[in-house]
Structure 1
Amino acid sequence: MSRRGVGIGAFANRTQTTQSWATHGANLRSTHTASLQTQLSVFQSLLHTFALEHSSTIKSNPTFRAEFARMCNTIGVDPLAARKEWPSRTGGGGSFWTQILGGDMNDFYFEVATRVVELCRETRSENGGLIGVEECRKRVGKGKAIGSGLEVSDDDILRAVRSLEPLGSGFSIVSVGSKKYIRSIPKELNTDQATVLEAIQVLGYVSVSMLRLNLKWEKARAQTVIDDLLADGLVWLDAQGPEKEYWSPQNLLDDSG
């Protein structure tokens, strides 16, 4: 009986100790969370002040603007997202850009996104709905000035495209090798297709025999991937040589400038 009493007492003590540690842990988590929220509020306040002081540079310098936007994202602030706690200068809610710079930057990204959509639709028959970000930036920047004559960077193009995603527009950013492309047709590239496009990026073109030799693919696999890319307009066929060669229209457009 005495042994059982000691055992029960020890069990009760362990239970009490466990509960005490659990309570202590919850208090620590609560304290840390409150501290982090306070630090985040301070960071956001400093970010707001910094943005107001350097608003002209943010507008005029695309590199500085890209770094500032990355800094915003690091602490959980999306410059293009509208939030209730970010009132615009004209009243009501607005994005972070609207709050600190008026509507100029919002209008800028809206116009960039509009031009990207128009360009993708115009060139879809040429490139199968896959256009390089660099080429897109060059072509979007031509003609009528955007906004107040602001220079457009690759980062601006990427942000404008990402701002379209909540609309279910089908526009997305895909990476092929070292390059980023805008995909304007809601269809994902599978692994084999991405591998072939990356090979074309390096070699200039591919053929079925090249894919079989370098990737150790069966003929049926190589031909199927090529046929799918050809059907989507992502590669062009050159049938003049002894073996059919497949070129990327996007690479040809990039090379021609």
Structure 2
Amino acid sequence: MSSNRRGVGLSAFTRNHISTAQYASHGNALRSAQSDSLQTQLSVFQSLLHQFSVTHAKDIRSNPTFRAEFAHMCNAIGVDPLASSNAGGGKAESGGSFWAQMLGGSVNDFYFELAVRVVEVCRDTRAENGGMIAVAEVRQRVQKGKGIGGGMEVSDDDVLRAVDSLHPLGSGFTITKLGHNQMIRSVPKELNIDQSTVLEAIQVLGYVTISMLQINLSWERARSIAAIDDLIADSLVWVDKQAEETEYWSPTFIHDTGGQ
């Protein structure tokens, strides 16, 4: 009896081992089939995207909303419109970016030229704003300039993509959010929490004073003065001593209200 029991146990162990191996083999086959299916679907989608871009090339180049939607479609399948197509080990002769391959380089050249203009605007206004400027103001200044895509309309989304395209160059250009406004920071220095809070307060109130910071933020006078002094040192606020108490204004806020 004991011998028969040992035989049944060994047999069950063998069958269990075979079943495990079969399950593993079947799982690998399923994963392989799914991977092949996804690759096929991706290839078909990219082909359709190519046809779409060729058919609607004019709209993509001239219409910023259409251009943004097309870029979102590219990103949805993991294609960065401004990234090199060779990053994945593609053929060297294909060259260029996805935009360049799809549209003959015209849109890619547009973003390159726009990035150059964004850098110029940030550089030209740095003495006024300390290297922090609203995306909307950059867009307005660029649209007033010459030679941007042959008069092509520029959107905030275009400006943001142009700034993103500068990252591989290590340019130090970053996008930061203050309140409801997106800002381009063109100097490699991060704002601390107190500086950001003061700038957000200026966006809401138009300007601040030391006493306003003390009352509205419950800060001690020394903390308020330190935050303001840091912003003045970075040229991020302007000082107005004409009122009873010294007022501190953001040059960005002044430009925004002046343009309305």
Classify the TM-score, shorter chain: 0.7 to 0.9
Distance in 1, matches of 2:57 and 2:209, equals: 52
Conserved in 2, the CA contact under 8 Å of 1:61 and 1:151?
Answer: yes
Of stretches 212-221 and 67-76 in structure 1, the one that deviates more from structure 2 is 212-221
- C-alpha distance in structure 1 between counterparts of 2:157 and 2:34, whole Å: 35
Task: Choose the corresponding residue for 1:49, options 51, 57, 80.
Answer: 51
Distance 1:20 1:212 in 2: 72
Cα distance, 1:126 vs structure 2 = 0.2
Larger-gyration structure (1/2): 2
**Superposition pairs for residues 1-257 of structure 1, below 5 Å?**
24-84=26-86, 92-257=94-259
SS at match of 1:94: coil
Q: Which runs of no fewer than 5 residues in structure 2 stay unpaired?
A: none
**CA contact 1:86–1:95 (8 Å) conserved in 2:** no
Deviations 1:5-39 (A, max 9, x none): 69999888877766665555554444333332322
Instruction: Measure how far apart 1:240 and its partner are.
Output: 2.5
Query: Whole-Å Cα distance in 2 between the matches of residues 11 and 212 of structure 1?
Result: 77
The answer to which of 78-87 and 149-158 deviates more is 78-87
**Separation in structure 2 between the aligned mates of residue 216 and residue 9 of structure 1, nearest angstrom:** 78
1:220 Cα shift?
2.6
State the secondary structure of the residue aligned to 1:79.
Answer: coil
Whole-angstrom CA distance in 2 between matches of 1:14 and 1:204:
75
Aligned counterparts of 1:205 and 1:73: Cα–Cα separation in 2: 40
Letter in 2 for 1:115: R
What is the alpha-carbon distance in structure 1 between the residues aligned to residue 227 and residue 17 of structure 2? 62
Number of residue pairs aligned between Structure 1 and Structure 2: 255
The two structures have a TM-score, normalised by structure 2, of 0.86
Offset of residue 166 of structure 1: 0.6
Task: Return the alpha-carbon distance in structure 2 between the equivalents of residues 103 and 160 of structure 1.
Answer: 15
Residues 131 and 181 of structure 1 are in contact (CA less than 8 Å); yes or no, is this contact kept in structure 2?
yes
Mean alpha-carbon deviation: is it higher for 126-135 or for 233-242? 233-242
> In percent, how many aligned pairs have the same letter?
63
Q: How far apart in 2 are the matches of 1:205 and 1:11? A: 80
